[in-house]
Amino acid sequence: MQLYDFTVNDNKGNPVKLNAYAGKVLLIVNTATKCGLTPQYEGLEALYEKYQAQGFEILDFPCNQFAFQAPGSAEKIDSFCKMRYDTKFPRFAKIKVNGKDADPLYVYLKEQKPGRIQWNFAKFLIDRHGNVVQRFAPSEKPNTLESAIEAELKKA
């Protein structure tokens, strides 16, 4: 298996093949709307606006697994993120990232960069070839990822 072999559901329940993102640098993030780290959405959107034209995408996977901090429907989560943080990057269906019900994508990500997801806003940086190149802790603010993103964007 490689990253581009996975199919995930968008926030409306439609299947999305990740091979649609082949050739792009990706940041895959598990998020929550009622978390102390929720303001990171602002920094994520700033990264998205700065680098999207260069082939950068953020894939947002809401996760209610940590203290139930992503309550509500996909529609409510999407509305909150757009109204509060003006996010424009793709948001997907709510998933689990740990345990026996973990989404297969997250099982794969954790195999590539081992370790249990500790909390909301864990981040995985993916290169243009679908390789997981770095993993960032939830506490790492989006602006601290800029040099790593820029380095991947410069690679062919």
Domain containing residue 16: CATH number: 3.40.30.10
Q: How large a percentage of the chain has pLDDT more than 70?
A: 100
**Is the pLDDT at 25 greater than 90, yes or no?**
yes
Point out the residues that are catalytic: 35
Share of the chain above pLDDT 90, in %: 95
Average pLDDT over every residue of 78-89: 94
pLDDT > 90? residue 1 = no
Q: Torsions phi, psi of 59, nearest 5? A: -110, 115
For residues 21 and 23, what is the distance between their CA atoms, to the nearest angstrom?
6
Give the DSSP per-residue string, 42-79: HHHHHHHHHHGGGTEEEEEEEB-TTTT-S-S-HHHHHH
Residue 42 has pLDDT above 80, yes or no: yes
Higher-pLDDT residue of 74, 145? 145
pLDDT of residue 156: 72
Amino acid identity, residue 102?
A
Whats the size of the chain, residue-wise?
156
- The number of angstroms, rounded, from the C-alpha of 30 to the middle of its chain's C-alpha atoms is 5
Residue with tokens 């989560």: 77
Examine the pLDDT at 155 and tell me if it is beyond 80.
yes
Residue 100 exposure: Cα atoms within 13 Å on the Cβ side: 0
Domain count, the chain: 1
Distance CA 3, CA 7 (A): 9
Q: Say whether pLDDT at 71 is over 90.
A: no
The mean pLDDT value for 65-90 works out to 93
Query: What is the span of the domain harbouring residue 49?
Result: 3-154
- Reported as a single tens digit per residue, the pLDDT across 94-122 is 999 999 999 999 999 999 999 999 999 99
